Amino acid sequence: MDRRFTLKDGVLFLLLTILIVMVWLAMVQYDRQWKDMQATRTDIKDLTSAQSELRNQIYALENVIEDRTVVAGDGLPRGAGDGQIKPKTKRFDPHERLKKATGAKDFAKGDWLIDAFGSKVASITPIVYKDLYGQRVNEFVIEPLIELDPETMKFRPHIARSWSRSEDGKTVTFQLRKGVVFSDGKPLTSADVVYTWEMLRRKDIDAAARREFYNVVVDTIANGPYEVIFKLKEKHYAWLSMCGWFPIIPKHFYEQYTTKQINENPGLLMGSGPYRLKDPKRGWKPGELIELVRNENYWGPKPGFDRLIWREVTNDVARMTMFKNGEIDMYLALPKQYDALLSEPEVKARSINKEYLKVPSGYQFIAWQQKRDGKPTKFADKRVREAMTYLTPRQRICDVVWKGYAEVANGPFTPGSNQYNPDLPTRKFNVEKGRRLLKEAGWEDRDGDGVLENAAGEKFKFTFTYPTGTEIYKRTSLLLKDSYASVGIIMELDPIEFAVYTERLENQTFDAVTMFWGGGAAEADIRQMFHTVQAKKGGDNFMNYRNKKTDELIDKARKTLDEQQRYKLWQQVHAILHEDQPYTFMLVRKTLLLTDKRIKNVRKVTEGVNDRYEWYVPRSMRKRGL
């Protein structure tokens, strides 16, 4: 039977055609609206940036008019209070280096900079973070009152435009710069500075070691919106860095959280810096990608990269492979991987390598626990600690593990600095001296089994704790194990994840540990690591070293403003630490950096290498976020 095309079919066909046309028109309209919305967003973003630039220019002009203080060439302002400062007619621009970068002919905004951390990140919440990774992320988001010039190594104004100090050295006053705003556009004032220090001093905030380091500052007072007065309980040689180098957080953001939330939430981060979390209220959670976006409300020039991203890659070989494949743009390499990458022509052709010793330099150490569970350990005897240093093949570790990119350390101070005592000889590897000292301390092989015992028959046995994920620590530990075993010492290896490692340090539940201290300030204050008051839970004197003479000298040095007298005191401290060996000071290493060649303005400076907010990618060389 034939199927004829009826009027009903025609009507249905017409309706279907109309429906299709209407859907198509709706899609076209939606597409137009989407494009219009995107264009509007772009316009708003450009307008926000333009308003930010205009606001910055207005406030910069206002600051120039109001700022009658001329900052001296040594980083101190007129009226610093000691009568010895001869100011020069020069004003400091806090964004001088960033402006120079953004003013380059090929400078362009865009692209992402991707890096990798070698350990799991526990927290990026200011004040309560515990490790270098949290600090590194914070540096791009929150800013201090003053900054350290990476070339001159002198302090210069940043959020503060000037400062002064009283004659007795116990009062420091900062004048804040107008126009500084947080990433949400709200102004930074003296109330935020006071709030930051009040939080730091609160004993219910989980920052015991950091709080102890800044305990000289006993009060902060807001005198109007743009003046802050710091009260010190005693004069301190590092009065300027002590008061001005601590990053400032926004009161209006953090006061909405309880103490428990601040202590336990790992991703509460907001500040006035050139980058920000995409959603500060949501924050960041461990295991997530750490991603910062450019702060379009920044009160200075806007940096080049749209995003800064950190991945967590705990395996050395995996990080190297990611750099080879272009998955990360920079690589702080270990010696073995560094030499391997430079031997590959393709990698060498598309990357830039730099070797440098950071100033001030950090150092690797072994800390010997002197008191555990309330009782003295075998390492409480300084003869044992000195013996362990003689039995530690430090030069071999520099040559074999670090492939010559390190040198043996001899104390906590940067070699060649004014604090360093040049008269102290570096102990060389010496098995016989080590054996003799151990015998004097009562340790010898009494039963002929090849293992040392004391008079009570206790074997010389200890656990060596180190962070996992880094081949350097593993190779170093194996060399130590063999070296100590050759004289009858049993060392058991205890590799653990970094988060657990930091808990062991806080709770002092270890026999011996190894790690690196960073460079810190140009003139190091070592009270945090070696003073008796820090030999407590959560303190950085986690090996329970106690020496009254060291305490007295450290306290005296911190109160001595005369540089030459102070340096002599630091050198005396160095001599005592050299004798006592609370640490076996292992080595000072070079930093080995590789960066993708498309990244421009990566420069060596006195401090090491300039910071990445000065880096950029020319428009023609963009790789991501096109």
Bridge partners of residue 593, in order along the sequence:
332, 354
Residues of the chain with CATH 3.10.105.10: 363-589
Task: Outline which parts of the chain fall under CATH 3.40.190.10.
Answer: 106-120+287-356+591-626
- pLDDT (0 to 100) of residue 550: 98
pLDDT digits (tens, 9 = 90+) for 574-610: 999 999 999 999 999 999 999 999 999 999 998 899 9
At 63-76, the pLDDT tens digits run: 544 444 433 333 44
Buried/exposed 146-173: b ≥16 CB within 10 Å, e otherwise: bbbbbeebbbbbbbbbbbbbbeebbbbb
Q: Which amino acid makes up residue 43?
A: D
Distance (Å, rounded) from C-alpha 498 to C-alpha 364? 16
Between the alpha carbon of residue 239 and those of residues 112, 231, 342, the distances in Å are 38, 10, 44
What does the pLDDT read at residue 4? Answer: 59
**Around Cβ 327, how many Cβ atoms within 10 Å?**
14
From 295, 257, 307, 315, select the one nearest 126 (Cα to Cα). Answer: 257
CB atoms within 10 A of CB 232: 20
DSSP class of 52: H
- Supply the pTM of this predicted model: 0.78
First to last CA, the chain: 62
Q: What is the pLDDT of residue 518?
A: 80
Give me the CATH topology for the region 121-273.
Answer: Dipeptide-binding Protein; domain 1 (3.90.76)
Which amino acid, 292? L
Q: How many CB atoms lie within 10 A of CB 66?
A: 13
At 396, list the tokens: 């071999």
pLDDT at residue 13, rounded to an integer: 73
What DSSP assignment string belongs to 529-569?
A: HHSGGG-STTSS-TT----HHHHHHHHHHHH---HHHHHHH
Residues with Cβ within 8 Å of residue 98, at least 6 apart in sequence? 274, 300, 301, 303, 613, 614
What integer pLDDT is reported at residue 33 of this predicted model?
Answer: 67
| Res 37: pLDDT | 56
**Are the C-beta atoms of residues 527 and 205 closer than 8 Å to each other?**
no
- C-alpha to C-alpha distances, 544 to 169, 212, 290, 437, 583, nearest whole angstrom: 32, 16, 35, 22, 11
Q: What is the pLDDT of residue 35?
A: 63
Shortest CA distance to 322 belongs to which of 583, 156, 479, 116? 116
Say which residues have a Cβ less than 8 Å from residue 323's Cβ, sequence separation at least 6: 330, 331, 341, 347, 351, 594
Peptide bond preceding 274 in cis form (omega within 30 of 0): no
DSSP 381: S
Sign for the pseudo-dihedral over CA of 423, 427, 428, 430: positive
To which CATH superfamily is domain 363-589 assigned? Dipeptide-binding Protein; Domain 3 (3.10.105.10)
- Residues (pLDDT < 70) of the chain are 1-5, 7-9, 11, 30, 33-91, 519-520
Sequence-distant (≥ 6) Cβ neighbours of residue 34 within 8 angstroms = none
pLDDT score, position 597: 97
Q: What are the residue ranges of CATH 3.90.76.10 in the chain?
A: 121-273
Select the CATH number that applies to the domain covering 106-120+287-356+591-626 from these four: 3.40.190.10, 3.30.1360.10, 3.30.70.100, 1.20.1730.10.
Answer: 3.40.190.10
What distance separates the 2 farthest-apart alpha carbons in the chain?
116
